[in-house]
C-alpha cells in the first residue's frame, strides 16, 4: 500500500501535465519523502537518492527557464 500513493501520483502527474518526466519526478520524490517520513530512509537505494537530486535540479532549472523564480 505504501508504494501505491507514489505510483498514483506518477500516473496522475504524467497524465495531467502531458509530461512523463514530471510524473516520474513527482513519483520518485514522493516515494522518497514517504520513506523518510515513515523512518524507512535506509531502504532507499543510492540510485533513488541520485534520481532525487537530479529531479530537484530538473525542477529548479525548469522554473528558472520559465521565469518562475522561487
In this predicted model, what pLDDT tens digit does every residue of 3-33 receive, in sequence order?
Answer: 789 999 999 999 999 999 999 999 999 999 9
Calpha distance 44→47 (Å, rounded): 8
Calpha distance 9→27 (Å, rounded): 6
pLDDT for residue 67 = 75
Mapped onto helix, strand or coil, the DSSP state of residue 11 is: helix
- With beta carbons less than 8 A apart as the criterion, state whether 70 and 61 touch: no
pLDDT for residue 69 = 56
Q: Which of 9-13, 37-41, 64-68 has the lowest mean pLDDT?
A: 64-68
Residues 6+ apart with CB under 8 A from 69: 63
Longest dimension (CA), the chain: 38
pTM: 0.83
Amino acid at each position: 500500500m505504501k508504494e501505491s500513493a507514489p505510483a498514483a501520483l506518477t500516473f496522475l502527474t504524467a497524465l495531467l501535465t502531458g509530461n512523463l518526466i514530471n510524473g516520474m519526478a513527482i513519483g520518485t520524490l514522493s516515494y522518497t519523502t514517504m520513506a523518510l517520513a515513515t523512518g524507512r530512509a535506509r531502504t532507499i537505494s543510492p540510485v533513488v537518492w541520485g534520481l532525487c537530486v537530479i529531479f530537484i535540479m530538473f525542477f529548479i532549472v525548469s522554473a528558472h527557464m520559465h521565469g518562475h523564480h522561487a
